[in-house]
Amino acid sequence: MDVRYINPFVKSIANTFQTMCGLSINVEKPQLKSGDDPSSDVSGVIGFSGDAAGSVALLFNYDVASKIASAFAGTEINEDHDDFSDAIGELANMVAGGAKAQFEGLNISISLPNVIRGKNHNLSGSKSAPRLIIPCNTDMGTFYMEIGMVLTKSVAASQTAAVGASQ
């Protein structure tokens, strides 16, 4: 993935969590996902499509998710609370929406959130679409952002043409 498409997610997650949860995030270097790890207990996933197709997911264990959902809602929320999944889905939605607004020259739209709950589940995509894992360290614990993104063929071709023309 081109760094131009990673930075919007990194900026958006920092901004979303600072604004909505009062939480500073120390974002580690993105790693290419290999195998199934990290596993998670609750994941908020948003798909996107248009000039690029893919998804962004936030992966939490229950303990960290409960603390963050509580900070977001301003009241104690654990994984059994009615509003728990909505809070995690809304955070994923805000991260995706914030990133989308920063993409230059890419017209993409985002889907509705899916929230997955289940101890130690794993996400995967297709082998042809590599994913990045970005560890996010906070005072409430570490969680992960997982991004997979593939430019549509026409956009990828026009970018290659533009690079060729400028050489």
The smaller minimum CB distance to its own copies, of residues 108 and 134, is found at 108
Is residue 45 at the binding interface for its own copies, with CB under 8 A as the rule?
yes
The smaller minimum CB distance to its own copies, of residues 90 and 140, is found at 90
Which region holds residue 157: left if phi is over 0, alpha if psi is between -120 and 50, else beta? Answer: alpha
Q: Residues 144-156, buried b or exposed e (16+ Cβ, 10 A)?
A: bbbbbbbbeeebe
Of positions 49, 75, 78, 137, contacts its own copies by CB under 8 A: 49
Q: Shortest CA distance to 120 belongs to which of 59, 48, 32?
A: 59
- Bond into 8 cis (ω within 30): no
Q: Which span sits near its own copies by CB under 8 A: 2-10, 16-24, 126-134, 155-163?
A: 126-134
Binding residues for its own copies, rule: CB under 8 A, are: 36, 39, 43, 45-50, 53-55, 57, 85-86, 89-90, 108-127, 129, 148, 150
